Chains A and B, each alone.
Chain A
């Protein structure tokens, strides 16, 4: 015990001059470090912004994304719930780009296969494809979550059916609302997961208008901001498609 005694072990006699020198040195060093810290903070806050986020922070968010994509299994799925767990009153959020009415006799999902080559599909055609249910804990980037029940065709099934194989090799899927005022970009591995669906039903009924009638995206591995409602156009790209919230300072990836 004596051997470990803190005071006897650490006590020492030093000359007054040496004491003064050590004190002065430590306080100057401390002041320098504090100044460096404050300068670094000021520097950071005066950096140019990229999509409204400070550039070094945006770069860190992108680094996080790369690390998570390369280190972890992007095929990992969101937890599945039973139908009885799903809420009846589904929260409505995000009205940017939402039309009051959509006429499905004229509405077509526009799938841009290449420049000048657009596939136009009616809701009836999409509904003919295999339907799957997705019941999961829907997470809003604001922090709330709700177990909700959706159904539609998996995007992967959809793309395979329409022979969009070369498009599946690209890096991103871009989506736009009918009026093009809301738009998202999604990395292909997340888009092709089995839980990602082009959704036309909520709680076994056609989607309500405010939930994205006639067709919306449900992608359980992303925050709600990526679950674009009232899809008008779908396209594919190797570059990041523009993303509404990423342009407003949010993480582009927004993955869970």
Chain B
């Protein structure tokens, strides 16, 4: 016998693995578009700290001169990104999964403890349900970022038709910058997520595929069970 925990419902695994390639395509096609007017940089006074993006970066990824292609992919795959996002949120609401995802009043304090623990500064690991406090905040924030991308995206895509969206974003160029910053946010999220998944190990990772995780019991695993 095996004691398992049914961690991720099929629907959530489905939404997760659809979102991954779709968001990747959105970021890639977004880069093809951004390249045509790649004006953003981090600068302090007259000192240029980083230019988004260096020439070598574009060339390595084959980005230059694909604006039209980028737009055709971006405005088609945006549908999948939006539909998948809406279905995911609706599912978490109706299934009750939101309970494990939304931060509660303890989460913000606990998230700090999680961070200290992850950085090996403190031994104490706060108790958790499905997700710890930092995960709750991250997985909820990413949904708001997704909504932000849709809003800022509409504001850039149809600034006349959706003039209200452009207004909410603080103008057309402001919307473009916000849309870009959200994308940088996804990349950072992805890098941290990937690092954490690798660190946590196979049992956790395969849970996003199989949906279940084996609970390791204290008792010794008999030779019988091993086979």
Contacts and interface: CB of A to CB of B under 8 A. Distances in A.
Interface string B78-115: 01000000000000000000011000000000000000
Interface in A198-256: 220-221, 245, 248-251, 255-256
Contacts of A88: none
* Interface range, A side: 35 or more
Interface string A100-133: 0000000000000000000000000000000000
Given A19-B4, A30-B17, A142 B37 contact: yes
B188 to A, nearest CB: 23
A22 interface: yes
A79 B161 CA distance: 11
Contacts of B214: 19
Contacts of A145: 172-173
Interface stretch (B48-56, B66-74, B144-152): B66-74
B5 interface: yes
Interface stretch (A56-64, A162-170, A172-180): A56-64
Given A11-B4, A60-B79, A220 B37 contact: no
Given A76-B163, A142-B37, A142-B67, A57 B73 contact: yes
Contacts of B11: none
Interface string A155-167: 0000000000000
Contact of A255 (B7, B129, B158): B158
Nearest to A29: B209
B160 A256 contact: yes
Q: Which of B37, B67, B68, B172 has the most CB of A within 10 A?
A: B68
A143 B161 CA distance: 17
B71 A250 contact: yes
A82 interface: no
A7 B5 contact: yes
B213 to A, nearest CB: 10
A76 B17 CA distance: 39
B1 interface: yes
Nearest to B214: A19
B72 A10 contact: no
Interface residues of B, number: 43
Contact of B100 (A6, A12, A37, A68): A6
Given A27-B209, A72-B161, A143-B33, A15 B2 contact: yes
B23 to A, nearest CB: 13
A19 B1 CA distance: 9
Contacts of A221: 160
A7 B21 CA distance: 30
Contact of A10 (B6, B17, B79): B6
Nearest to A256: B160
Contact of A68 (B69, B72, B161): B161
B130 interface: yes
A11 B163 contact: no
B72 A139 contact: no
Contact of B129 (A5, A58, A140): A5
B225 interface: yes
Contacts of B215: 11
9 contacts: A6-B129, A11-B4, A11-B215, A15-B2, A19-B214, A30-B17, A57-B72, A68-B161, A141-B71
Interface of B: 1-7, 17, 21, 33-34, 36-37, 39, 67-69, 71-73, 75-76, 79, 99-100, 129-130, 158-161, 163, 172-173, 176, 206, 209-212, 214-215, 225
Given A61-B72, A76-B163, 4 more contacts: A11-B6, A61-B75, A137-B172, A144-B37
Interface of A: 4-7, 10-16, 19, 22-23, 26-27, 30, 33-34, 37, 41, 52-54, 56-58, 60-61, 64, 68, 72-73, 76-79, 137, 139-145, 220-221, 245, 248-251, 255-256
Q: Identify the 6 closest CB pairs spanning chains A and B, nearest first.
A: A143-B37, A249-B68, A60-B76, A142-B36, A26-B210, A57-B72
